[in-house]
Structure 1
Amino acid sequence: MNIGIVYNPFSGDQDKQKRILGGLKNVLKKHKVYCTKSTYNFLSKYITCDIIPDMFDACHITNYSVKAGMALKNIDLVLVLGGDGTVSDVVYGQRLVDNLIPILGIACGTANAGPLVSFSTTKELEKHSIIEGEPKYIMGIDAYDIEGRLLGTAFNDIVFSDSVVTTLSKKVVTVNAEKFILGEKIPSTPSNVGKKNTEIDINGNKIDLEHNIGQIIVSAVINSEYYKAKAITGKLCWIPYTEKKAIMVISKQPIIKIAKPEDYNPLEPLLLSQYLFGSEDTVRISNTKGYLVIDGNPKLSMNNSECLLKLNKKAALKYDF
């Protein structure tokens, strides 16, 4: 099998990454492995790879994972070592060149919650046959700028926030999104993103809220049957009975934040609004504070911007085991 490999050395727990890299040589010894030069620089002492030329050095794309997704062609599988954000970036690169290749993610990131992250150790990978797996389409949330340019696809979630979740000194923390883009991890507490001129609509129908906007979270619902008869989940229990397989949650206060257990008050109400939408619908969001964050990656400052979100039922390919 011809396998492309992408590695993000800056995601998640570095010690865990080294353990995974140490076990990959045996997993991949029967396969032909390819990577871009940026990945080869990190992996050459662990794995024998053939370098695929990166033909996109002159373009505006600077993210190495995105460029790897663009460059890795004519292969059977892309093995991604990283977190949800790395996987999302690789698929974004594939989408930019209209070349979907099945993804197999090995969890090296912070959350590792998305459906494209299939394994957390190389031992798990060794127990399965990559060749026998059947690829299938995976849903995601596509984000576009106002000009219609694809900004990326979320397989875990899109969050409108001024902070992102990452790993710092082996601890999971929220850090300032603006500084994160510049390569700095500055711990911060998320603040409300709503402004007086914030607008949210679905298919042109404006959403009028009776509460402030702390965060906006949007996600495709992959396993809709899980929510059948679970009324405690609110509108999610409707998902099995409708074609609308995505949900937007607008919370009065930030939901995604890292705090000590003693800082949480289980008796304090968490107020939120839920909206289901499908692949035929378009969600428009404009003029919030903070950033449009796609699977942990800040992609667009929303202060004086707007974006469009759509459910894509064929956003990526993965192998099912």
Structure 2
Amino acid sequence: MYCVGVIFNPGAGRSSLFHVIGELLSQKLEAAGCRVITASGPFGAHYIPKATQVIPLSSADLPSAFRAIVTAFVDQGANIIAGVGGDGTLNLLATQLLHFQADVALMGIAGGTANVGPLIRFNIARLQEFDLRKLYTYNLSPLEIWLDKDHIGYAFVDVVIGDTFLGTFEGRLETFSASKFLKEGMKEPQLPSQHLGCFIVKKGKRRFEVKHIAQIVASPLYHVRFYSGKAITGALCWAPFLEAAGAVVWTTTPIIDPRISPSFYPEPVNLGMILLRPEDQVEISGTARSACIIVDGNPLDFLRDKTLTILVSKRKLQVVSPRPFEEDCYPLGL
């Protein structure tokens, strides 16, 4: 019997949708004859009341709870883990699966703030057409992130060096102080800095001194053919010909900013960009005391006087989608 583990992030930005998602997912999995396991309380049982098995939790701390839940799902023989939340939620689940090197596919269901990453391939509309017999599975390699000699995470959407991160506050999109969150676990609204500091970016023998920077962003590239012939995208239009697997940009204007709207007219965006082949790595260091490392929307650490190393991981994660890979390049959120 096919086994599906289902987990919800109770702190996700669009938790108001969870009862609808839970009911719809339950109907589809029951019709497919699946064995369904979930976690207790707001991590699953509140929304999947007819689950075959419920995993009890001893901790409400999100990383600890996710670690325990994924461990239990893998031990119980789950074929798919369905995560309901945003890009940060799915990153936490993916990181655990990569750690275990488990032969389990991840099914991301949009329930968070942005939902723009490649792990989230389902929303309510796509769940309505869910058919277990017609699912596609493909492998994605994330960026691997090291701080000095410590491995601190994986990125499927982006790694941002900045002072704010995106979240939801009273139902609206906001940026919050990454420093405040790392120090006190609090979400304090704050606009991104226009002048974060000066940095050194190194790729192989090349060394770039970049000044008056607002944000540095690194992302894996999964659909490089999309940029072919589009000169307006800058160096990204070279990506298909260079077999690029990632890119790093530094910009004088914050790119990740919740104020973007039809009435918002920013200053001209000046940026530098380098591409990463699978064998490349980039090292970033700087003097900005407020610079934080945000991975797929999750603040992880301060940069301070350390060196951040970014490379294309050799590890691969199985992702479940209702569409084949080449037809599934657009984000579902925002």
- What is the TM-score normalised by the length of structure 1? 0.88
Give the Å deviation of 1:172: 0.5
Deviates more, 1:74-83 or 1:90-99: 90-99
Whether the 8 Å CA contact 1:157–1:219 is kept in 2: the answer is: yes
Whether the 8 Å CA contact 1:65–1:86 is kept in 2: the answer is: no
Aligned alpha-carbon RMSD (Å): 2.6
Aligned length: 313
Residues 251-289 of structure 1: per-residue CA shift (max 9 Å, x gap): 0121111226477325x3110001101221111122343
Query: Aligned to 2:35, which of 19, 32, 36?
Result: 32
**Separation in structure 2 between the aligned mates of residue 290 and residue 247 of structure 1, nearest angstrom:** 20
1:295 corresponds to: 296
Give the Å deviation of 1:24: 2.4
2:281 corresponds to: 282
**Separation in structure 2 between the aligned mates of residue 262 and residue 61 of structure 1, nearest angstrom:** 36
**Separation in structure 1 between the aligned mates of residue 41 and residue 277 of structure 2, nearest angstrom:** 38
Residues 146-174 of structure 1: per-residue CA shift (max 9 Å, x gap): 2242x221111111111110011110010
Whether the 8 Å CA contact 2:25–2:127 is kept in 1: the answer is: no
- What is the TM-score normalised by the length of structure 2? 0.85
- Where structure 1 has 5 or more consecutive residues not aligned to the other structure, the ranges are none
Give the Å deviation of 1:179: 2.7
Residues 89-119 of structure 1: per-residue CA shift (max 9 Å, x gap): 0011112222252111110001100111011
Whether the 8 Å CA contact 2:24–2:127 is kept in 1: the answer is: no
**Would you say 1:245 and 2:248 are equivalent positions?**
no
Task: Give the partner amino acid of 1:114.
Answer: G
- Where structure 2 has 5 or more consecutive residues not aligned to the other structure, the ranges are 323-334
**Would you say 1:76 and 2:79 are equivalent positions?**
yes
Residues 48-96 of structure 1: per-residue CA shift (max 9 Å, x gap): 2413577x98xx9944234433442122101010100010100111122
1:199 corresponds to: 200
Whether the 8 Å CA contact 1:3–1:76 is kept in 2: the answer is: yes
Whether the 8 Å CA contact 1:3–1:32 is kept in 2: the answer is: yes
> Counterparts in 2 of 1:1-321, with a 5 A limit?
1-29=2-30, 30-37=33-40, 42-43=45-46, 46-52=49-55, 62-73=63-74, 74-121=77-124, 123-149=125-151, 151-181=152-182, 182-192=184-194, 194-196=196-198, 198-203=199-204, 205-209=206-210, 211-259=211-259, 261=261, 264-265=264-265, 268-287=267-286, 288=288, 289-312=290-313, 314-321=315-322
**Separation in structure 2 between the aligned mates of residue 51 and residue 262 of structure 1, nearest angstrom:** 46
| Change over 3 Å in CA distance of 1:261–1:126 after alignment to 2 | closer
